[in-house]
Amino acid sequence: MDNQLVLYNTLTRRKEKFEPLNPPFVGLYVCGPTVYSDVHLGNCRTFVSFDLIFRYLLHLGYQVRYVRNITDAGHLEGDNDEGDDKFAKKAKLEQLEPMEIVQKYTLGFHEVLRLFNTLPPSIEPTATGHISDQIEMVKQIIENGYAYEVNGTVYFDVENYVKKHDYTILTNRKLDDLLDNTRELNGQDDKRGRLDFALWIKAKPEHIMRWPSPWGIGFPGWHIECSAMSSKYLGEEFDIHGGGMDLAATHHTNEIAQSQACNHTNPAKYWMHTNMLTVNGTRMSKSAGNGFLPYELFSGSHQLLNRGYSPMAVRFFMLQAHYRSTLDFSNEALDAADRGYKRLMNAIALLPKLKINTKKSAVNIGELKQRCYAAMNDDFNSPVLIAELFEAVRIINSVYDGKLMLDESSFAELNTLMQHFVHDVLGLIDDNTGAADFEKLMTVIIALRNEAKQNKDYTTSDRIREGLSSMGIQLKDSKEGTLWNKI
RNA sequence: GGUCGGAUGGCCGAGUGGCUAGGCGGAGGUCUGCAAAACCUUUUACAGCGGUUCGAAUCCGCUUCCGACCUCCA
C-alpha cells in the first residue's frame, strides 16, 4: 500500500501518478449508456472496468463521488441535425412513449449491472432531468463567443475555438487532416464549419421530446449533457473522466471544447479510456449487429455460444484482461475463464476449513500482499493481480492438503487479503453456493455415502456420486472429508 | 487516405533490455477403493528481415498482417 498509484492518462499519453485535486475526495465521471436498446456485453465491459477502478479507489480510502449519466434524450442517428431521434424511432417501433423506452432500458441496464455485481454510482443523472443546466451552459458558450445560432439550432464554433485552444488535445490528431477527412457539408444543415457540432437542435414538428429554450422549441445536442452534468456534480474541474475508447475522438473531444469555452478549464485532470470487446477480432457494436446481449450469454442461447456462463465467470473473464487491451470473445476463452474462476472460488471456500499451525508459517503472505498492491497500483492491472491471487490459491490448497504450514497471523493476513482483493476490489462473489436447505441436504447425502464407503459398499457410494454428477454436482473426497461444488 | 494501437506458446492473456507471469488445455507423477479435486514435474512463445547492445521477445528502422477512430455506438 506504500506504492504510488499510477494510471494512464489519455490526455498526456503516458502513465502518471494519481494525485487527486482535493484529497481524500475523488470525482469520477463516466459516460453511461444511451438507453434506447438493450446494453450488450461490450457496453458492460466498460462499466465493469470502471467498477474495478471505483472499487480500488474506495479500497485505498478515497471518498469517491462516482457520477455516471443516463442518456435519455438528444441523440440523433447521424452527426447532423437531421435524421430520427433514436428514442422516438424505437418508441414508434415498439408502440410506446419515448419515456417508456427510456424506463424499460434503464431498468434492464441496472439489472444487468447488478448481475455483474457492479457498485451503483453515487449519482446517476439523466439528460432530460438537466435540460435547464444544459441551456445555461449553451448560453454561456454563446456569450463567450464560441457558438452561434442559426434558425433555432445552436452550433459550437470550432474554427473560432482553435484560434486559442487545442481542439485535438485528447487524440493528438492534426486539425488539417480532420478537416480534409470530414464529410463535405451536405447543405442540409446550417453550420458554418465542417467540424462544428450542435449544442441545441431545433425540434421538427413531429419530434416528441422537446423543450422550450431561448432559441425556440428544441432538444439538447449530443455532447452538452455530460459537460453540464459533470460540472454540476463534480465541479468545473474534477479528477477522472472516463468512458469507452470510441468516445474519445468525438464525444470527449467536444466535451473538452465545451468546458473550455464555458468555464475556461479542461474538465478533468485524468482522462481514462477502456478498450473494446471484440468478436472474432472485430469490435462488438450495436450497428455491426455482432453484439451479445447479457442474457444470451448467461443462458447460452446465442448461436455462437456452446453453453451459458454465469455473470461472475464473465466478470472474471473481463478482469483477466487489462482494461486498455482489446478482449476477444470465444467459447474457449470463456471456458478457460469459467474454470479459473471456479478454482479461485473453491479455494476461498476452503479458507474457514484450514488448520492453523502453531509453528511459524512457511509462507510470506506480506510479500504476496505487496505484489497485489503493486499490480493494482500499476494502472489497475487486474490480470497481474489475478495471477498473484492464484499464488494464494496454491497456498490455500497446499495448507488444506497438509503440505504447508500456516500460523495464526499469516492465516489472518491471507483471509484479509482474499477478502480485500477478490471481494472488495475485483468484485467477485461465489455464485456456486446453494440455499441453506440445500447445504443441509448435501450434508445428509454425503454422510450416507461415507457410511456406504466405510462398509466398502462402493456400488452404493458410486451410485450416489454419479447421480449427483449427472445433475452437475461434483464430489471431492479428501482426508478432511468430502467437499462438493456445482460444475 | 489520415491518426493511433496491435501481432506473445494448442487457446486466452500479462510483462519486459539479462531473472518461471498467470489461467485453461496436453503429458507424467503423488494421493485415493476407484474417480474427481488438490499438489509436484513437464510441454510448445514472443509475425518477418535488418540494426543498436556484452546481451532484445523487450529499443530503432523496414516489411507483412490485423484492429480502432476519422459517421450514432462503451
Reported as a single tens digit per residue, the pLDDT across A318-338 is 999 999 999 988 899 999 999
Span A87-128, pLDDT tens digits: 777 887 788 888 898 999 999 999 999 999 999 999 999 999
Q: What is the ipTM of this complex?
A: 0.94
Is-contact A313 A341, C-beta < 8 A? Answer: yes
Question: What value does the mean pLDDT of chain A take?
Answer: 89
pLDDT (average), residues A442-470: 89
Q: Which residue is nearest to nucleotide B66 (CA to C1')?
A: A281
Encode A377-390 in three state secondary structure. Answer: HECCCHHHHHHHHH
Sorting pLDDT into bands at 50, 70 and 90, what band is A185? Answer: very low
With distances taken from each CA to the C1' atom of nucleotide B39, the closest residue turns out to be A398
Q: How far is the CA of A161 from the C1' of B7 (A)?
A: 39
| pLDDT tens per residue across span A406-433 | 999 999 999 999 999 999 999 999 887 6
Among A135-139, A209-213, A291-295, top mean pLDDT goes to: A135-139
Comparing every residue's Cα with the C1' atom of nucleotide B2, the nearest one is: A177
- CA at A250, C1' at B14: how many angstroms apart? 31
Q: How confident is the model at residue A81 (pLDDT cuts 50, 70, 90)?
A: very low
Number of alpha carbons in the 13 Å side-chain half-sphere of residue A252: 27
Grouping H, G, I as helix, E, B as strand and the rest as coil, residue A117 is coil
Confidence of residue A79 (pLDDT cuts 50, 70, 90): very low
Chain B nucleotides close to protein (CB under 7 A) are 1-5, 10-15, 21-25, 31-40, 66-74
**In chain A, what are the domains?**
6-274 (3.40.50.620), 278-425 (1.10.730), 436-486 (no CATH)
Is residue A187 left, alpha or beta, with left meaning phi > 0 and alpha meaning psi from -120 to 50? left
- Structure confidence at residue A310 as a pLDDT band (50, 70, 90): very high
DSSP state of A352: G
Residue-wise pLDDT tens digits, A133-149: 999 999 999 999 999 99
Q: Over the range A50-73, which residues count as b (16 or more CB within 10 Å of their CB) and which as e? A: bbbbbbbbbebebebbbbbbbbbb
Q: Give me the residues paired with residue A220 across strands.
A: A200
